[in-house]
Each structure stands twice: as C-alpha cells, then as structure tokens.
Structure 1
Amino acid sequence: MSEQVLVDTAERIRTISFNRPDKKNALTRAMYSAAAEAIEDGDRDPAVRVIILTGEGGIFTAGNDIVDFMEQPPAMDGNEVSPVQHFMQALLNAKKPVIAAVDGLAIGIGVTLLMHCDLVYCSDRSSFKTPFVDLALAPEYGSSQTMPRAFGHVVAAELLLLGATWSAERAAQTGLVGAVTTPDALMETVRNAARILAAKAPDALAKAKALMRRAPGPLTDRIALEGRQFAAQLRSPEFAEAAAAFMERRAPDFDKLG
C-alpha cells in the first residue's frame, strides 16, 4: 500500500486513511489505487466485517490532486479503468458496510464518495463543497442522481450548481451526514458504530445493504424480493444462532459459523 494511504485492521474493522495532510489529502492516482485495493481486499477478507474511510491531520480530502489529475485525466469512455474509477467501483461494489468519518475539508470527490457510503459522521469543523461547475466540469459518479434523490433538486443544486460550501450543521440538516461530533469524539463514535455492525450476522447485513442500494422499481417487486430473502434467511445458520441467542438471553456469536 502507498504510505499516503494507511490501512489498519482490528476488531474486524478495516480503517483506510488518506495520509497526505501537507497537501490537504488531495488524492493522486497512486492513492486511489491503494485505497481501491484496500477496500477490495477488505471486502474479500472474512476477518473484516466493516470498512471505515477517513483522513489524517484534521482533513478528509480536498479532492483530486489537480497536477496529478491533469497529467493523465481519466478517459471515462469505458475503454480503460483509471485509478479513480477503480476506487469508485470498489466503493460501489463493496458488499460490507462502509462508514465515512469526515473531519475538516471534504471537497469534490470527497463529497461524491459519501453518497456511496452506508453511514457518514463528521466533526463540527467539517465543510463540504463540490466545485465541479466552478471548474467548468460536470458532476461525477452519479452525484447528479444521488444528490437530488437524497436532498431534493433545489437543495442538491446548492452543491452542484451554486457550488455552495456546506457547514457540518447544514450537512446534517440535509442528510448528507448522519451525526456531528467534536473532532476528538469523531473516530470513537465511528468505531462504536463499526463495532455494532461487526457483531451482526454478516450475510444478513450484506443482503440488507444490497436491498437498500438496489435501484428503485415497483414496490410490489421489492416486497417480493424481500420476502424471498427473508425466507432464505429463516433457513440460515445465522438465523438459527440469532434465535438460539435470543432464547438463551446471550449475545449471538456469528464468528463460530465460519
């Protein structure tokens, strides 16, 4: 892994940290590749249950390193997979829960990627900005769909058209982040959430995430799909352990299921 992307795995939680604070954690091709590999490896590893994305030095990320980006801009034509595409595909394809811990600046793709995380927490000194139109660029990686769907068109336009900077308070108000903490409390808040997720039935958790991430369709189709998966889980070793733990008044132990 690149020294500018730190990877730590403990308590079934993989923490991936952008580590270039002298450059506001601006992301280079090497950093994208390292982070993508860390996500994919964690998603394959049965010892990892949850993935955390964060940044070192009181900064999440200032987005793309412009010099590095301009040296080899991603083609986005489907003929090759650039490092940034590799990273976003790894995030999009992750079956395990991904939590973002935002402290300080989150700019450009640093905001876009949050829409593809499952939980987002930030410190009260965080700020969020997507200056795509300001740079004569278009929105990226589904943000023109995910943000209007999440916030409503006129609120999403504050970010995508006006290029407004959102405070932590505004981010929580709109639903971009789930909770705001002090900087000192951020990582422990995030790790507590990760520990709760890591203790849950991993297959059931993956199925619930996949259902939530599934493209909208007729409600009757979704109910039918949920019903099939619910019935399958009733026959699973995970449910047998959860039911036994409930009857025995103990915490379930899904690790023993392998």
Structure 2
Amino acid sequence: MTNAIVVTIENGIQNLKINRPEKKNALTQEMYGILAKSLRDAEQNPEIRVSVITGTEDSFTSGNDIMDFIQNPASGEDAPVIQFLYALAEIQKPLIAAVNGLAIGIGTTMLLHCDLVYASENASFALPFVNLALVPEAASSFLLPRMLGHQRAAELLLLGENFSANTALDAGIVNAVTTPDQVEETAMAAALKLSKKAPEAVRLTKSLMKGNSEQVKASMQTELQAFSSRLTSPEAMEAMQAFMERRLPDFSKFS
C-alpha cells in the first residue's frame, strides 16, 4: 500500500494524490499517516506555498476503510487519523481539493477544511454516518450547522443521502463545478495563482478567516470518542452485517 498516497512537489505546489482505486480510495490508518505527515512537512518547507489533494478518475475517496478502522482503532492523539484531522485544522498554508467521483464520509468532511474546492459534474457526495449507525467526524457536526444553518445541516447529516456537485456548490462546500477532465486542471491553476502571491499575507489572511482552531479540534475529539465507541455498538454491528450481506439494516429492535 506504499503507493496509496502519491506525493509530488512542483512549482511550489504539493500534490497529494489518493491512489487506491481498487478500493475506491478508501482511507486506512497508514494513508492517514502519510497525509498528515505530508501536510505538516509542507508547513515547514519554504518551497511549498500550497497543497492540493486529488483522487483518481472515479473516486476522490469513498471514506474510511471500516475494516482497517476496526482492526486499528484510533486510540490517543498519536493515531494517524487524529493527526490528519488536527493537521487539517491547524495548517496555515492554503489547501485545495479537486474532487472527481465519490466523496463519501471523510471525502466530504475534509472539504470543510479546504480553502478552495473544485468538483467535477460527476462527483457524488454523502455523509452516511447515521446510516452506518455511526456519528460524524472531522468537526462536521460543528462546522456544517454554522455554514448551512441547522436544518440544511440536519438534512445532510441525519438523512445521509447522496447529493450532487451542484447541491454542494449551492451549499458553499465547493467553489465551482467543472467537467471531469478539467477539475484537476482548474484546481492546479488556482494553486499556481496562490503560489505566486505574498506567502505571509496568504497565511495571515487564512488565519484571520478561520479563527481559533482549538474549538474545531475540541469538536473533532468529541466526535472521535463517540465514533470509536459506536464502531463496536450493536447498531453498528447490524449495519456492517447488512452491508456485507447486501441488504438494508434492520434497526427496529433498537430503541
């Protein structure tokens, strides 16, 4: 899985490509660790002005690799997934995402921490945590109501249904919708523009817009505690069993 995240640096731009297409780019703890380290390294490297996260043709990422998460549960702040989430909250340099295909779970919630997001018209977003008997992560339960209002956030987080690139655009989750063959080009063009601007002014402007990251990190911690406990809950076991058996989960016996 060593090539599951491909990191390249050119023209002041760090490109982080999620590259596990055979698993729809589902993220493992190892992959989270590489992403977290790469974002932290970019902060310390004066030659890097901006980072861009991309996926493959049919998937940005389908979310957490649930079996990997069960086998390697996040425990403590050194866990790779937690380090990745903290990096998203804390990094000062610009972060851009180019989204093709599936953007499920963390594939959508990480976008809330990006400064610019470009999606192809074939992108499909979802926050299916409740459908899996889980809870949101990446501070999405904190950020989405503030972005969209309670009712629109509840529609996305409680119903957990897929939504289109145009819906994401209307919600302010993405900046623009392009054709599939243009989405990375559009993101890289924006990254190149940012790479030529005064770096300290860019960092300070981002910091002023985002404000204090501690509240976001506190929300991440609360969500992760609940998420970890939910993974072994009877409801989650039923949801995962139903997924493996390709049937709808039956939650009628739970209260």
Please, what TM-score do these two structures have when normalized by structure 2? Answer: 0.81
SS in 1 for 2:181: helix
Match of 2:173, SS state, is coil
SS at match of 1:183: coil
Identity of aligned residues (%): 49
Deviations 1:134-156 (A, max 9, x none): 11111112111100111111111
What pairs with 1:41-120 in structure 2 (closer than 5 Å)?
A: 41-75=41-75, 79-120=76-117
SS of residue matched to 2:128: coil
Residue aligning to 1:131: 128
Does the 8 A contact of 2:77 with 2:83 survive in 1?
no
Alignment of 1:94-243 (within 5 A): 94-215=91-212
Q: For 2:54 and 2:138, locate their aligned partners in 1 and report how far apart those are by CA, in whole Å.
A: 19
Distance of 1:18 and 1:203 partners within structure 2:
28
Deviations 1:22-41, CA, capped at 9 Å, x for gaps? 00000011100011111111
Q: Deviations over 1:150-208 (max 9, x none)?
A: 11111111210010211011111111111000011111111110011111100010000
Distance 1:135 1:59 in 2: 20
Greater Rg by CA: 1
CA distance in 1, matches of 2:2, 2:87: 17
Higher alpha-carbon deviation: 149-158 or 176-185: 149-158
- The alignment's TM-score, normalised by the length of structure 1, stands at 0.80
Give the drift of 1:8: 0.8
What RMSD over aligned residues (CA atoms) do the two structures have, in Å?
A: 1.4
| Preserved contact between residue 2 and residue 34 of structure 1 (Cα < 8 Å) | no
For the 8 Å contact 1:29–1:68, the answer to whether it is kept is: yes
Q: Which residue of 1 aligns with 2:22?
A: 22
Q: Tell me: CA distance 1:84–1:123, structure 2 relative to 1, closer, same or farther (3 Å).
A: same
Secondary structure, counterpart of 1:184 in structure 2: coil
The 2-side partners of 1:183 and 1:27 are apart by 22
Distance 1:177 1:151 in 2: 13
> Is the 2:19–2:25 contact (alpha carbons within 8 Å) kept by the matching residues of 1?
yes
Unaligned ranges ≥5, structure 2: 214-255
Counterpart code for 1:43: E
> What is the rounded CA distance, in whole Å, between the counterparts of 1:68 and 1:3 in structure 2?
17
Q: Give structure 1 stretches of 5+ with no counterpart.
A: 217-258
Query: How far apart are residue 215 of structure 1 and its match?
Result: 4.5
Q: Secondary structure at the match of 1:15?
A: strand
- The alpha carbon displacement at 1:117 in A equals 0.7
- Matching residue of 1:37: 37
Helix, strand or coil at the partner of 2:15 = strand
Partner AA of 2:127 in structure 1: T
**Letter of the structure 1 residue corresponding to residue 147 of structure 2:** A
Counterpart CA distance in 1 for 2:199 and 2:2 is 29
